[in-house]
Structure 1
Amino acid sequence: MSRAADADPSQARSAVAWRFMVFYFGRFLRRHLNALRIARWGRPEGADHPGPIVVYLNHPSWWDAAVLVLLAHGFFPRRVSHAPFDARMLERYGVFARIGAFAVDLDSARGAIQFLKASRSILARPGRMLWITAQGRFADARRRPLGLRPGVAHLPEIAPDALFLPLALEYAFWDERGAEAFAAFGTPIPAAELLALPRAERLARLEEALTATLDRLGRDVVAREPERFAALASGTKGVGGIYDLWRRLRAATTGRRFDPAHRPGPAGDHAP
């Protein structure tokens, strides 16, 4: 990545690459997961906020990047998204720089400087938003405390007009062969509210909000009731292969409609 791009990640971002990756990740998710579900209580508030938006989240899985791209496209289509990315991984997966990722060295003090410098550049522009895996590492969704890194607590000073949105992610196997991805946004926190707190208390306030969102999402996931969610994307149902071919033929001979799902979902399961 060039020095100019390192200072201003917007220069490396490509709208064409973004649209392609939305298509690619949507197709990839439908092939390999059963569904991406948003909690009905967890749709994001404040999408029309006049200032920048910072979404901060837990980091449970490799799938997080794909899920974030699809959530950004689905709920914030008019905003330009950016995200910090492990510098070593960004060297391997350079396409992410083309869709708004910027390099951060997670293992040195220089990384904090990189993060704040790039964030300042991004949040100063209209219509921008940051997506931050605030734990800075993979961690189980049930881990407590979350251990958010302190960098996110510095952002209200950089963007006092920003809105902070906690985002909870979790993955689980339900009734189909593919796993389910679950998401829920929590209550927005204005930067002005965070600025009234010392940094340590500010970080604790952010962690408290994300923990509460994760706990509520977790209870819905454990309940295994699809009606608590809306499906943003759905994958291929059934086992596939010879077994589903046999089931299809058996349904045809008995005059029944063939549904490959192990447990058919309720009508209107998809998000509008």
Structure 2
Amino acid sequence: MVAWFERYLHRHLDALRLPLWSTPPAGDHRGPIVVYCNHPAWWDAALIIVLAGRLYPERASRAPFDAAMLARYRIFERIGAFGVDLGTPRGAAQFLAAARAILAGPDGMMWITAQGRFADARARPLSLRPGVARLAEFAPDALFVPLALEYAFWDERGAEAFAAFGTGIRGSDLAALPRAERLARLEADLTATLDRLSADVISRDPARFRALVSGRKGVGGIYDLWRRVAARLSGRRFDPAHRAVNGNDRAP
């Protein structure tokens, strides 16, 4: 399924980019890893699947999923999602029980869209749900890592997807804080990561990023076929991208 979602990103997006300053947590971390992120778009689940598969193939990644949506998209259940009734005491109990089991092992890994709802990447405050702060109470060996997600249109037909990992905090250090301060710390770390990522996105400079997945360039269809033939007849190499490598705009 990771390969399928990579092809899906390749077909529909221009690229999945990570800023050069972003360092994913080490896969050989001695303990479970909790990656918590904002939730700006439908694409988030696909990005998380690709990031988990490409960066942490040796770990069994799990993720909470709205139970109502999981009933519609059963494929996610087969690749690590578990249902949670959002906004109910029963859902909170489901989340904590599943998290306790997942994080009990040293190679456990959870990916959490911690806002629990779709929200613009620029909206502040992030208003993370409190459940993510509870995990440190029974997973002191876990590493809690913020992941910022954003999308933008640059120069190509497809949108750009961006993902940036921030600096993690150990569960033991997080658990030493009062519960309200834990949530505030997690939210502050994710906000800082989002703000830094947004500054790079606004620059529209691909040199600030590395592409984990690259998408199709050009318009496609008959128009690009005509451009390809014209380039071949004139002895030029055909490049479907709108912007040349040196940064100059290509003719439309």
Report TM bin, short chain: over 0.9
Do the aligned residues in 1 keep the contact of 2:40 with 2:120 (CA within 8 Å)? yes
Counterpart amino acid of residue 21 in structure 2: W
Q: State the distance in 2 between where 1:23 and 1:236 align.
A: 16
- 1:96 equivalent to 2:76? Answer yes
Return closer, same or farther for 1:265/1:106 CA change in 2, 3 Å cut-off.
Answer: farther
Do the aligned residues in 2 keep the contact of 1:46 with 1:188 (CA within 8 Å)? no
Q: State the distance in 2 between where 1:220 and 1:57 align.
A: 18
Task: Please name the residue that 1:83 is paired with.
Answer: 63
- 1:70 equivalent to 2:11? Answer no
Q: State the distance in 2 between where 1:34 and 1:202 align.
A: 37
Task: Please name the residue that 2:111 is paired with.
Answer: 131
- 1:156 equivalent to 2:141? Answer no
Matches within 5 A, 1:123-202: 123-202=103-182
TM-score by length of 2: 0.95
Do the aligned residues in 2 keep the contact of 1:153 with 1:202 (CA within 8 Å)? yes
- 1:230 equivalent to 2:210? Answer yes
Do the aligned residues in 2 keep the contact of 1:226 with 1:265 (CA within 8 Å)? no
Do the aligned residues in 1 keep the contact of 2:38 with 2:114 (CA within 8 Å)? yes
Return closer, same or farther for 1:87/1:242 CA change in 2, 3 Å cut-off.
Answer: same
- 1:41 equivalent to 2:25? Answer no
Q: CA RMSD in A?
A: 1.0
- Determine helix, strand or coil for the equivalent of 2:156: coil
Do the aligned residues in 2 keep the contact of 1:169 with 1:181 (CA within 8 Å)? yes
Q: Shift in Å at residue 95 of structure 1?
A: 1.6
- 1:31 equivalent to 2:11? Answer yes
Counterpart amino acid of residue 57 in structure 1: C
Between the two proteins, the alignment pairs up a number of residues equal to 246
Q: Shift in Å at residue 72 of structure 1?
A: 0.6
Task: Please name the residue that 1:9 is paired with.
Answer: none
- Determine helix, strand or coil for the equivalent of 2:93: helix
Task: Please name the residue that 2:195 is paired with.
Answer: 215
- Return 5+ residue gaps in structure 1 as ranges: 1-20, 267-272
Q: Shift in Å at residue 245 of structure 1?
A: 1.7
- Determine helix, strand or coil for the equivalent of 1:169: strand
Which has the larger share of helix? 1
- Determine helix, strand or coil for the equivalent of 2:174: helix
Q: Shift in Å at residue 203 of structure 1?
A: 0.3
Moved over 2 A (4+): none
Q: State the distance in 2 between where 1:75 and 1:245 align.
A: 36
Compare 250-259 and 163-172 and name the one that shifted more: 250-259
Counterpart amino acid of residue 204 in structure 2: R
Q: Shift in Å at residue 43 of structure 1?
A: 2.6
Q: State the distance in 2 between where 1:45 and 1:127 align.
A: 13
Do the aligned residues in 1 keep the contact of 2:31 with 2:105 (CA within 8 Å)? no
Q: Shift in Å at residue 265 of structure 1?
A: 4.1
